[in-house]
Amino acid sequence: MVAKQGSSPAGVAAPPRPVLVYDGDCSFCKYWVHRWQHRTQGRVQYVPFQEVPDRFYGISHTQFRQSVYLITRYGQRLHGAEAVAVLLQLSGYGTWSGLYYRLPFVSTVAEAGYRLVANHRDFFFKLTQLFFRTT
């Protein structure tokens, strides 16, 4: 797997388990993080970006506002649809990650879809409430 954001900044150790950093003020994000927490059963740490320092693993709060980031045990900094694809793999849905990396058009479409959802989170949270059981 190739990280778009590269490795950990020099002198910063990779986390002992993957860390997903998300927008803790976003209802859509909180809903999906809650679901993923159940699927990953402690294999991934979930942290709102509001609780990490600016430049956490070299990532600014501005970047965290725009996208989820997954920092892997190897120090890779993945974001957007790529981060979600790898998180889904850790959740037992490896098919998505395989498609993302093996079929070039899938990653392009997934990133465009991610951007659409990220730019309209409130609308997609309402859709989520309609189609998925909320807890």
pLDDT tens, residue order, the chain (135 aa): 333 445 556 557 889 999 999 999 999 999 999 999 999 999 999 999 999 999 999 999 999 999 999 999 999 999 999 999 999 998 888 788 889 999 989 999 999 999 999 999 999 999 988 888 755
Convert 6-28 to b/e letters by CB count within 10 Å (16 or more is b): eebeeeeebbeebbbbbbeebbb
Domains in the chain: boundaries? 19-131
pTM (predicted TM-score): 0.86
In the chain, the largest separation of any two C-alpha atoms, in whole Å, equals 46
Please give the pLDDT value at position 132.
Answer: 81
Please give the order of strands across the beta sheet that includes 77-79. Answer: 45-48, 19-22, 69-71, 77-79
- DSSP category for residue 58: T
Please give the pLDDT value at position 4.
Answer: 44
DSSP string, 4-31: SS-SPPTT-PPPSS-EEEE-TT-HHHHH
Please give the pLDDT value at position 99.
Answer: 92
Please give the pLDDT value at position 10.
Answer: 55
